[in-house]
Amino acid sequence: MAFHTETTAPNDTANIADTVAAVRAGFDSGLTRPVSWRLDQLRGLSAMLRTESDRFEAALASDLGKPSIEGYAADIATVASEIDDIAKHLPKWMKPRRVKVPLTVQPGRAYVLPQPLGVTLIIAPWNYPVQLLLLPAAVSIAAGNACVLKPSEVAPATSALLAELLPRFTDSKAIATVEGGVDTSTELLEQRFDYIFYTGSTAVGRIVHQAASRHLTPCTLELGGKSPVLVDDSANLEVAARRIAWGKWLNAGQTCVAPDYVLISATHRDRFVELLERSFAEFADGTDTRTNPDFTSIVNERHTERLRGLLANHNGTVAFGGDSDVADRWVEPTIIIDPDPDSPVMQEEIFGPILPIITVDSLADAISFVTDRPHPLALYVFAEHDDTIEHVIDHTSAGGTCINHVIQHLLPSDLPFGGVGESGFGRYHGRAGFDTFSNLRAVLKKPTRIDPKLVYPPYTEKKSKLIRRFL
Ligand code: NAD
């Protein structure tokens, strides 16, 4: 299988200010405001994904060694159908939203009017390089904004394809794609935008937030971190093991909401590990995952080395897997029982097919383990008892939660997606995304036919008494 090496894509920083200025001129001309323009762009994005899906699958395979069906499902089909859904609901979302007017302000009419923010910058990572660029772009366009899109240089074939196709399917007067690496992102962040939407690591999220603060630009940070899984004693262990193993297998664990580690009691741990091993073995179907076309590669040698480092230094017991090869960008699905909580595998986001299993004494213990650490992007609970599920949700914080499965809470477009605390802030998907990229302008309209003198100075004793009684 051919892989691109990690490169810095074309990086013409001199043109960045011009590109942003051109897109701003497009926005200022009023081009992006009519619903017809917005719908045309959304239809263009959807058509691009559908008609060029073979080329997108090939680019994803080249960048990540993604199985074609995983690339198609996560980066093409679900993205196109969410874009279609946005287009379907857009006319309703754009309407003014009436709100109640209190007696003291009547007569009058009040409403929230969603208006575009202006020029938005969207910076995407490499792990789902189409989805994580185009879904925020779609809601930004739906909200009537102009966009500058910056795909990840770590997925160079996909970045180049997006840069080639976007101008053919969308209006380049208000939608520009800028390819490049850190220098390009840094230069982009020097410009003034009206909104910045960043997806990627927490470390870079801090840099983006600082840069945004220079122009007081609002932003969304879609970050990562360690997403824990609590497997309660009441859980259906067989289903839990299969679903958690799938969450680690998918994209070789390189998913922001991949299950990072599992907390389980000693009573069920060994049986659960056995079931996990069986699930991984079933997925591999008797083949070596190094060459299995259904198993994604690690994105590059640097990340493979990083994962080898996690495997080398944890003081736990490897129950399954443990092998890796830097040249092949391969790390075997691996289960580690009770690694040292201070070791890198329990301190850093794993972002690879390694699954630590932590033995806990009780549900309370599991909850403390989670709450002693930064708020995760996702928290998973496997349990059959509703009171246990509610107890976990009530006593923890997380960007999102999926009960008795992993990752799938991203799919319903009406569930706002985002982090909390160190896993980020801001929400998108569906209408939450439209609202994120809108200025929800507050408007109160008063008629002039009635204008009682009561509320104006001079505040006589009689008027004051009446006002006090009224309020
Ligand atoms: P990455 O290396 O592709 O970086 C993301 C983007 O940031 C790229 O476009 C890159 O050019 C830019 N960038 C990198 N360094 C920069 C710098 N110093 N200044 C400005 N811009 C810079 O991706 P990554 O960060 O390796 O992505 C993996 C991380 O992203 C993981 O932590 C993962 O959990 C997180 N993630 C979060 C989500 C989410 O939706 N919350 C989704 C996917 C990934």
Place of tokens 């101008």: 167
Q: Is the CB of 407 under 6 A from ligand 1?
A: no
Q: What is the atom index within ligand 1 of the atom nearest the CA of 181?
A: 11
Do 271 and 188 lie in one domain? The reply is no
Per-residue confidence (pLDDT) for residue 11, from 0 to 100: 46
Per-residue confidence (pLDDT) for residue 425, from 0 to 100: 97
Q: Is the CB of 206 under 6 A from ligand 1?
A: no
Do 91 and 170 lie in one domain? The reply is yes
Q: What is the atom index within ligand 1 of the atom nearest the CA of 417?
A: 40
Q: Measured at the alpha carbon of residue 61, what is the angle toward residues 57 and 62, in degrees to the nearest 5?
A: 115
Pocket test residue of 131, 152, 428 for ligand 1, highest count of atoms within 8 A of CB? 152
Residue 64 lies in a domain: yes
Q: Which of 407, 406, 366 lies closest to 269 in space, CA to CA?
A: 366
In angstroms, the CA 34 to CA 469 distance is: 47
Q: Which of 256, 332, 349, 422 is catalytic?
A: 256
3-state secondary structure of 459: coil
Residue 454 lies in a domain: no
Token digits of residue 204: 């870079």
Question: For the chain, how big is the Rg over CA atoms in Å?
Answer: 25
Which CATH number belongs to the domain containing residue 389 in this structure? Answer: 3.40.309.10
In angstroms, the CA 254 to CA 260 distance is: 10
Annotation says 52 is catalytic: no
DSSP 336-379: EES--TTSHHHHS---SSEEEEEEESSHHHHHHHHHTSPPPSEE
Q: Is the CB of 359 under 6 A from ligand 1?
A: no
Q: Residue 336: how many CB atoms within 10 A of its CB?
A: 25
In this structure, which residue's CA is closest to atom 24 in ligand 1?
A: 200
Q: Is the CB of 349 under 6 A from ligand 1?
A: yes
Residue pair 65/296 in contact by the 8 Å Cβ criterion:
yes
Annotation says 222 is catalytic: yes
The model's pLDDT over 234-250, given as tens digits with 9 standing for 90+, comes to 999 999 999 999 999 99
Residue 308: Cβ-neighbour burial (10 angstroms; 0-12, 13-18, 19+): middle
Pocket test residue of 199, 255, 411 for ligand 1, highest count of atoms within 8 A of CB? 199
The number of residues in the chain equals 471
In this structure, which residue's CA is closest to atom 6 in ligand 1?
A: 125
Q: 436 alpha carbon to ligand 1 midpoint, in Å?
A: 20
Per-residue confidence (pLDDT) for residue 10, from 0 to 100: 46
Q: Which of 390, 397, 127, 396 lies closest to 257 in space, CA to CA?
A: 127
Q: Is the CB of 186 under 6 A from ligand 1?
A: yes
Residue 452 lies in a domain: no
Do 231 and 335 lie in one domain? The reply is yes
Token digits of residue 376: 């995760």
Residue 100 lies in a domain: yes
Q: 430 alpha carbon to ligand 1 midpoint, in Å?
A: 22
Q: Which of 400, 389, 342, 394 lies closest to 371 in space, CA to CA?
A: 394
In angstroms, the CA 69 to CA 64 distance is: 13
Q: Which of 222, 332, 349, 422 is catalytic?
A: 222
Place of tokens 């180049």: 160
Per-residue confidence (pLDDT) for residue 452, from 0 to 100: 84
Residues lower than pLDDT 50 in the chain: 1-11
Pocket test residue of 185, 197, 350, 422 for ligand 1, highest count of atoms within 8 A of CB? 185
Q: Is the CB of 438 under 6 A from ligand 1?
A: no
Do 264 and 399 lie in one domain? The reply is yes
Task: Give residue 21's domain range.
Answer: 16-223+421-443
Do 52 and 130 lie in one domain? The reply is yes
The tally of domains found in the chain comes to 2
Token digits of residue 245: 């193993």
Q: Is the CB of 180 under 6 A from ligand 1?
A: no
Q: Is the CB of 132 under 6 A from ligand 1?
A: yes
In this structure, which residue's CA is closest to atom 17 in ligand 1?
A: 182
Residue 469 lies in a domain: no
Place of tokens 């000693």: 266
Do 141 and 68 lie in one domain? The reply is yes
Residue 20 lies in a domain: yes
Q: Is the CB of 11 under 6 A from ligand 1?
A: no
Residue 463 lies in a domain: no
Residue 347 lies in a domain: yes
Q: Is the CB of 63 under 6 A from ligand 1?
A: no
Do 169 and 48 lie in one domain? The reply is yes
Do 135 and 251 lie in one domain? The reply is no
Per-residue confidence (pLDDT) for residue 6, from 0 to 100: 36
Per-residue confidence (pLDDT) for residue 96, from 0 to 100: 98
Do 75 and 170 lie in one domain? The reply is yes
Do 333 and 189 lie in one domain? The reply is no
Do 60 and 152 lie in one domain? The reply is yes
Which CATH number belongs to the domain containing residue 137 in this structure? Answer: 3.40.605.10
Per-residue confidence (pLDDT) for residue 261, from 0 to 100: 98
Per-residue confidence (pLDDT) for residue 3, from 0 to 100: 31
Helices and strands (H and E) in the chain: how many: 17, 18
Backbone angles phi and psi of 195, in degrees to 5: -160, 140
Q: What is the atom index within ligand 1 of the atom nearest the CA of 125?
A: 3
Per-residue confidence (pLDDT) for residue 450, from 0 to 100: 87
Q: Is the CB of 26 under 6 A from ligand 1?
A: no
In angstroms, the CA 245 to CA 279 distance is: 6
Do 233 and 311 lie in one domain? The reply is yes
